[in-house]
Structure 1
C-alpha cells in the first residue's frame, strides 16, 4: 500500500530509513494501469447489471456489491501511484481518508466473496433444505450490510493509526507503531479463514455437481476452479508475506531490500484482483452475451428498429385506408347517379 505499508511492515524506526529500501520498477505506472482497467471493467459490469439484469436476483446483489467494493478500492490507486512517484504530497487528512477507503475496499471484497460462496453452497449443496428465494435474498442483503459495517468499522481503526511525517525532506504516510496482534488478525480473519470457507464450500459444490445428471458440469467446474485459483493467486502471497513479516524482521539492508522486492510483487498481485473480478463474472455466458450487446449498443438499435417498425406499420395502415377510400369513392358517385 505505497510507502506507509512498507513502513508498517517493519520500517518504523529512524535507523531503518538509512537503508535504501525503495523498490525500483514501474509501481506508479502499474497502479495507474490497474486503475484504468479496473474502472473500465467494473463500469461495464455495472452497466450490464443495471441495463440487462434484474438486481433483485441474489447473485446479482452480491456482484453489484462486489463491483462497488472494487471501485472503492480502485479510487485509492492514483494516490498510491503519486506516492510512489513523488512521495506523499496530499496531507494528513487525505492520508487517513485514503487509508480508510483502501481498507474498506480490501475488507469488503474478501467478505463479500466469501458470502457469495456460502450462498452458492446453500443453493447447490443444501437445496434439499428448501430454503426459499425470499429467505436467501434476505440473508444475502444482511450479509452485504454486515460486510460494509465490518469493513468501515475496521478501516476507521486503521485510519486512526496512520499519519504523515517528513524524513529527510520527504513526506511519508505510514503507521505510527507496529501492531503484531493486528497482523495476526488480518492474516487469520481476512485470508486463512475466508480461504478455508471457500475451499470447503467449493469442494462440496464440485462434489454435488459431479454427482448430478447435468452434463454441463465441466464448464461449471472450470468456473469454480478459476474463482478459487484467482482468490489464492491474488491474495495468498500477500498475506503469506504479512505472516512472515510478523514472525521475522530483516536486519541488514540487503535482507530488507530482498524482502521489499518480494513484498512489492505480492502487493501488485493483490491490487490486480480488482481487475480480475469483472473477468471472472464474464465467465458467465449470459453476462458475456449482455456485455457484447452493450458494446454493440444492442438496446439502442433494438429501440430504433422498434420505432422504425412502428412508424412503418402506421404509415402502411394510413396508406391502405386512403387507398380503400379512393376505391370506394367512384362507386358511391355512380350509385347516386
Structure 2
C-alpha cells in the first residue's frame, strides 16, 4: 500500500519510473546501476492469487456472519467489520496487477478511487483491531461493561467511528493522487505533491504505531489476567483475537517500517539499492497476504466452524457420523441389558 507511486507498489515495473526514483530522487543511483530483478510478473501473479483466496474466504465468512452469526455479540460485530475491511482492500488487487503488467489504464478518477479504497481498507483494519483489543481489555481486565447490550452498542459505535476516520484520513491523499506519466511516457497512478509525504508520516504515526502501542499494552494486561483463570471459552476467544491482531502486524509491520525508513534514508550504492528493491517486493507480498489469512483464524471459533459446515452442506456427513456413533452406543447398551436379564 504505497502512496507515492501507484497507491500500491514500490516495485520497478517495465522499466518505468519507480517509487524510489519518482519520489525519493534515486535517479543518480538507479541510472548508474544495472537493471534490477523484474518482480512485475511475480508480484502480479501473487496479487491475483491473494485476491482469489481473500474474496473466497472473506465472502464465505461474511455470509456465515450475516446468516448464522449472532451480531448481538460484540466480537462477532467486530469480525463482521474486519471482514468488510479485508474485502474493500482485496477488490483493488486485480487493478494494481494490471498496472504492474502494463500501465495505468483506469483513468484519473479510477486512480483516486482505488487509492482511497486502499487506505480505507488499511486504516479501518488498524482501528478495528485496536477497538476489539480495547473491548477485550475492558471485558477481561477491568470487567466494567454494565451489560451485554451496552457492550454491543459501544462496539457498533467503535465500528462506525473506524469507518469515518478511515474515510476522512484517506480523502486528502486520494485527492492528490492522479494519472500522470513517468520518464518513459507510461501512464502511472501517483503523486509528486511534497505535502503528501508529511501527511503520510503523520497518518502512519497516528494510525499504525499508536494503535500498536495500545494493543501491546492491552494484551499484556489481558494475558496476565487470563493466565490467572481457567475459563476455557473466554481463553479461546482471547487467543483467536490475539492471533488476528498478531497476523496483521506481522504482515504489515515489515513493509510499513521499510517504507518509512526509505523516507529518511537513500541508498548510496547499487548493491544496497538492489537489495532494498528485492526486500521491498517481498515485504509488499507479505503485507498483502494479510487479507486472506484472517478467515483461517476466525475458524478457531467452534460456532463459526459449525455454521460454515452448515452453509457448505457438510453437516449431513457430520450428522450421519453422529447417528452412527449413537446407534453403536445404543446397540452396545442393548447387549448389556440383554446379558443382565439373562443372568
TM-score normalised per structure 2: 0.79
Q: Cα RMSD (Å) of the superposition? A: 2.6
Note if 1:137 corresponds to 2:152. Answer: yes
- Contact conserved, 1:8 with 1:177, CA < 8 A, in 2? no
Note if 1:55 corresponds to 2:59. Answer: no
Note if 1:282 corresponds to 2:293. Answer: no
Change (3 A) 1:91 1:251: farther
Map of 1:32 onto structure 2: 48
Mark the structure with the bigger radius of gyration.
1
Distance 2:97 2:125 in 1: 21
Partner of 2:181, secondary structure, is strand
Q: CA deviation at 1:177?
A: 2.9
Map of 1:210 onto structure 2: 227
- Contact conserved, 1:165 with 1:172, CA < 8 A, in 2? yes
Distance 1:162 1:221 in 2: 40
| Equivalence map 1:303-314=2 (5 Å) | none
Note if 1:189 corresponds to 2:206. Answer: yes
Note if 1:150 corresponds to 2:165. Answer: yes
Distance 1:103 1:219 in 2: 31
Distance 2:238 2:170 in 1: 35
Note if 1:11 corresponds to 2:28. Answer: no
Distance 1:224 1:55 in 2: 17
Q: CA deviation at 1:274?
A: 0.7
Q: Deviations over 1:208-232 (max 9, x none)?
A: 1110133567756653553343122
Q: Could you tell me which of 107, 110, 118 is aligned with 2:123? A: 107
Change (3 A) 1:174 1:43: same
Gaps of at least 5 residues in structure 1 are 303-337
Distance 1:121 1:221 in 2: 10
Change (3 A) 1:225 1:143: closer
| Equivalence map 1:154-165=2 (5 Å) | 154-165=169-180
Distance 1:14 1:165 in 2: 19
Note if 1:268 corresponds to 2:285. Answer: yes
- Worse-superposed segment, 176-185 or 115-124: 176-185
Change (3 A) 1:23 1:94: same
- Contact conserved, 2:145 with 2:151, CA < 8 A, in 1? no
Distance 1:149 1:216 in 2: 33
Q: Deviations over 1:162-203 (max 9, x none)?
A: 122223131111122344423432332232211111111111
| Equivalence map 1:114-125=2 (5 Å) | 114-125=130-141
Q: CA deviation at 1:244?
A: 0.9
Partner of 1:213, secondary structure, is coil
Gaps of at least 5 residues in structure 2 are 11-17, 320-343
Partner of 1:164, secondary structure, is strand
- Contact conserved, 2:81 with 2:159, CA < 8 A, in 1? yes
Change (3 A) 1:252 1:160: farther
Change (3 A) 1:154 1:9: farther
Distance 1:183 1:10 in 2: 18
Q: CA deviation at 1:204?
A: 1.3
Q: CA deviation at 1:284?
A: 1.1
Distance 2:37 2:169 in 1: 29
Map of 1:97 onto structure 2: 113
Note if 1:243 corresponds to 2:243. Answer: no
Partner of 1:53, secondary structure, is coil
- Contact conserved, 2:89 with 2:122, CA < 8 A, in 1? yes
- Contact conserved, 1:183 with 1:243, CA < 8 A, in 2? no
Partner of 1:264, secondary structure, is helix
**Number of equivalent positions:** 300
